[in-house]
Amino acid sequence: MLKVEANWIDLRYLDALSTQSTFIHHLNPCAKLITTLSFIIAVTSFSKYEITGLFPFFLFPVILFSLGNLPTAPILKRLLVVAPFILFIGIFNPLFDHTPIMKIGSVVITGGWVSFFSITIRLCLTITTALILVATTGIDAIGAALLKIGVPRIIVIQLLFMYRYLHVLVEEFIRTITAYSLRSFHGEGVQFRAWGSLLGQLLIRSIDRANRIYQSMLCRGFDGEVRLRRTSTLTSTDIGYLACWLIFFLLIRFFNVPELLGKLLVGVN
Amino acid sequence: MSHHIVELKDITYTYPDQTEALRGLSVRITHGESVAIVGANGSGKTTLLSHLIGVLFPTSGSINIGGYPVTKTTLPHVRRAVGMVFQNSDDQLFMPTVYDDVAFGPLNLGLPPEEVDARVTAALTTVGALHLKDRTPYRLSGGQKRSVAIASVLAMDPCILVMDEPTAGLDPFSRRQLINLLKTFEHTKIIATHDLDLVVDLCARTVVLSEGTIIADGPTLDIFSNEELLNKAHLEKPFRMQGCPICQRQD
């Protein structure tokens, strides 16, 4: 129970970060969204055995952490929350892919291990930058930016509603679990038999709440379309920011900078 | 201004599970009146309010609001005339920021952006919450949420304000602020509540519900002086009308 509450506080913390006032926070949400999306596309477009080519991409989150005045620990902690999923995505690669890729001493490194590390690095990079986007932009601005770049309204509205009521639902969940644990003496955790009715209760309460929200929307003239405020226009700073990163991403995507640097330093062609 | 009359004639409502929530209820509320709806838990207060905004339709009987009979086709008119403040502000504040939430209604009315902005600013200023406009609703305190919920209704410029338990969950200071705010409104007010001291402050007229029907309707002070009636409706005198048991203690 405490664990849920702790993560919950973290969630609010990310929102609090987005209200800061730094260079990054003042940029147009569209510019930030497109930069992040291009970053994610560039990182995921590498071949499955690529590792060295990914390293220059770490510069992007590192610079954003610094310019956006973001504390690293809370964001990396959130990365740890999804770490098990990251591991599970690539964990079977070493079992199935035995293609030898390189040899360090007498140890043969198989393609499976290389692709596993590659996947892990990529997921860490993309998830961190997505978290940074939320921490520097705020969900409402991201929603408006998504609309602007042509994401269907219904998807954006779903996203915003989900984020808005995530808090209410988690609070309800915590209350339910607290009420349960106060009257259960089996020790830690919720008994498997109780889960059914607990989740059922939550489902029914969510449906009731959804109904009430829908009614309150109808009372204010809801006609099937949610109208959001327009975002500010792109300034030359935004375009400059966007252009610089796009050029940088293209550069490090098509030229393996660590390899080139290595060759330059060792002097081998 | 006779067109802001609320009139319910012989309303009956039975829930799908056969619970009879309203039984032959008739009431007429004229423009500018401030009416309290009081009664025990389950006496039909919320069901009655749901009829005023067209969320529920009576099984039999008729409702007329601002000259329109409440039917599915007149709902847009009815909902423009009636502003409903829900009991739980979280149900009412669903947009990402306070500004967006208050702008939701005016935007749905199809108003031009400048007009929307003017209305939002005016509504937030009225409830003293303009400084909250860029905040997210879930981070607000209970009192702030209630203020913003009222602003979101005011921005629609309704003639009739309907409130379900407006002071529930508020601390005494926020409650007093809310009462003072509501005192300044000239709308027709219909307030369902258990907070009888609020009724003494705000409403000249009180309607007492019991088991889905009206057992009394009259001047607030007369009703609260009738102990027999209050007992029947599971109510008790507002605290300020009771003798102070501590000051009057004889020992």
Residue A11 above 70 pLDDT?
A: no
Q: Can you give the pLDDT at residue A186?
A: 67
Q: Are B199 and B39 in contact (CB under 8 A)?
A: no
Beta-carbon contacts of residue A30 (< 8 Å; ≥ 6 apart):
A145, A148, A149, A231, A234, A238
Q: Can you give the pLDDT at residue A95?
A: 83
Domain ends where: B157, B172, B190? Answer: B157
Q: Residues B62, B163: one domain?
A: yes
Q: Can you give the pLDDT at residue A269?
A: 54
Query: How near does any CA of chain B get to the CA of A54, in Å?
Result: 36
Q: For residues A148 and A16, give the distance between their C-alpha atoms in angstroms, rounded to a whole number.
A: 24
Q: Can you give the pLDDT at residue B6?
A: 92
Confirm or reject contact between B84 and chain A (CB < 8 A): yes
Q: Residues B52, B172: one domain?
A: yes
| Closest by CA position to A21, among listed B134, B240, B113 | B134
Q: Residues B128, B208: one domain?
A: no
Tokens of A226: 């949610």
Tell me the pLDDT tens digit for each residue of A203-224.
898 888 888 888 888 888 888 7
What's the whole-number mean pLDDT along residues B191-195? 93
Number of domains chain B is built from = 2
Residue A29 above 70 pLDDT?
A: yes
Q: Residues B215, B236: one domain?
A: yes
A–B CB contacts, 8 A cutoff, strictly below: 78
Residue B83 above 50 pLDDT?
A: yes
Confirm or reject contact between B33 and chain A (CB < 8 A): no
Q: Can you give the pLDDT at residue A187?
A: 65
What's the whole-number mean pLDDT along residues A40-49? 90
For residue B46, the one-letter residue type is T
Tell me the pLDDT tens digit for each residue of A183-207.
877 666 777 777 888 888 888 988 8
Residue B241 above 60 pLDDT?
A: yes
For residue A52, the one-letter residue type is T
Helix B142-154, helix B172-184: angle, nearest 10: 20
Assign 3-class secondary structure to B93-139.
CCCCCHHHHHHHHHHHCCCCHHHHHHHHHHHHHHCCCHHHCCCCHHH
Tokens of B182: 């509501």
Kindly tell me the sign of the dihedral angle through the C-alpha atoms of A140, A141, A142, A148: positive
- Mean pLDDT is lowest, of A12-16, A251-255, B168-172, B186-190, for A12-16
Q: Residues B99, B203: one domain?
A: no
Query: How would residue B237 be classed by pLDDT, with cut points 50, 70 and 90?
Result: confident
| Closest by CA position to B8, among listed B69, B55, B80 | B69
Q: Can you give the pLDDT at residue A9?
A: 55
Q: Which chain A residue lies closest to B96 (C-alpha atoms)?
A: A140
Q: Average pLDDT, whole number, for chain A?
A: 84
User: Structural domain of residue B115, as residue ranges?
Assistant: 91-157
> A125-128: long-range contacts (C-beta < 8 A, 24 or more apart)?
A125/A39, A125/A43, A125/A54, A125/A57, A125/A58, A125/A60, A125/A61, A126/A39, A126/A40, A126/A43, A126/A44, A127/A79, A127/A82, A127/A86, A128/A61, A128/A75, A128/A76, A128/A79
Q: Average pLDDT, whole number, for chain B?
A: 89
What value, to the nearest 5°, has the Cα angle with vertex B235 and ends B229 and B238? 105
B82 in a structural domain: no
pTM: 0.76
Tell me the pLDDT tens digit for each residue of B46-79.
899 999 988 889 999 999 998 889 988 888 888 8
Q: Residues B5, B23: one domain?
A: yes
Q: Can you give the pLDDT at residue A74?
A: 84
B108 vs A209: CB contact, 8 Å cut-off? no
For A52, A60, A153, B83, the CA distances from A247, given in Å and listed in that order, are 19, 12, 30, 53
Confirm or reject contact between A224 and chain B (CB < 8 A): no
B42 in a structural domain: yes
Q: For residues B142 and B119, give the distance between their C-alpha atoms in angstroms, rounded to a whole number.
A: 23
B13 in a structural domain: yes
Find the CATH number of the domain harbouring B228: 3.40.50.300
Confirm or reject contact between B99 and chain A (CB < 8 A): yes
Strand partners, A100: A110
Tell me the pLDDT tens digit for each residue of A77-104.
888 888 888 888 888 888 888 888 777 7
Q: Can you give the pLDDT at residue B13?
A: 93
Q: Residues B129, B248: one domain?
A: no
What's the whole-number mean pLDDT along residues B211-232? 92
- Mean pLDDT is lowest, of A43-47, A236-240, A245-249, A263-267, for A263-267
B177 in a structural domain: yes
Q: For residues A28 and A36, give the distance between their C-alpha atoms in angstroms, rounded to a whole number.
A: 13
B73 in a structural domain: no
Locate all alpha helices (DSSP H) within chain A, ordered by sequence.
2-17, 23-26, 29-44, 59-67, 72-90, 93-96, 111-137, 139-148, 153-182, 192-219, 236-254, 257-266
Please list every residue in chain B whose beta carbon sits closer than 8 Å to the beta carbon of residue A147: none
Q: Can you give the pLDDT at residue A195?
A: 84
Q: Can you give the pLDDT at residue B1?
A: 45
Radius of gyration of the CA atoms of chain B, in A? 19
Q: Residues B62, B180: one domain?
A: yes
| Closest by CA position to A173, among listed A12, A16, A13, A3 | A3
Residue A5 above 70 pLDDT?
A: no
Place of tokens 């375009």: A239
Q: For residues A195 and A190, give the distance between their C-alpha atoms in angstroms, rounded to a whole number.
A: 7
B7 in a structural domain: yes
Tell me the pLDDT tens digit for each residue of B107-145.
888 888 899 999 999 999 999 899 998 888 878 888 899
For A64, A78, A200, A227, the CA distances from A137, given in Å and listed in that order, are 12, 17, 35, 20
B78 in a structural domain: no
Q: Residues B56, B167: one domain?
A: yes
Residue A167 above 80 pLDDT?
A: no
Beta-carbon contacts of residue B110 (< 8 Å; ≥ 6 apart):
none
Residue A1 above 60 pLDDT?
A: no
Answer left, alpha or beta for residue B110, where phi above 0 means left and psi between -120 and 50 means alpha.
left
Strand partners, B68: B65
Distance of CA A73 to the CA centre of its chain: 15
Domain ends where: B157, B175, B191? Answer: B157
What's the whole-number mean pLDDT along residues A220-238? 78
Domain ends where: B157, B177, B211? Answer: B157
Q: Residues B177, B235: one domain?
A: yes
Percent of chain B with pLDDT over 90: 54
Give the B window 145-174 contacts with A, CB below 8 Å.
Answer: 152-153, 156
Q: Residues B138, B28: one domain?
A: no
Confirm or reject contact between B231 and chain A (CB < 8 A): no
For A1, A167, B68, B137, the CA distances from A7, given in Å and listed in that order, are 10, 12, 51, 20
B137 in a structural domain: yes
Of A231 and B187, the structure prediction assigns the larger pLDDT to B187
Best probe of the A interface among B65, B90, B135, by most A CBs < 10 A, is: B90
Q: Residues B174, B250: one domain?
A: yes
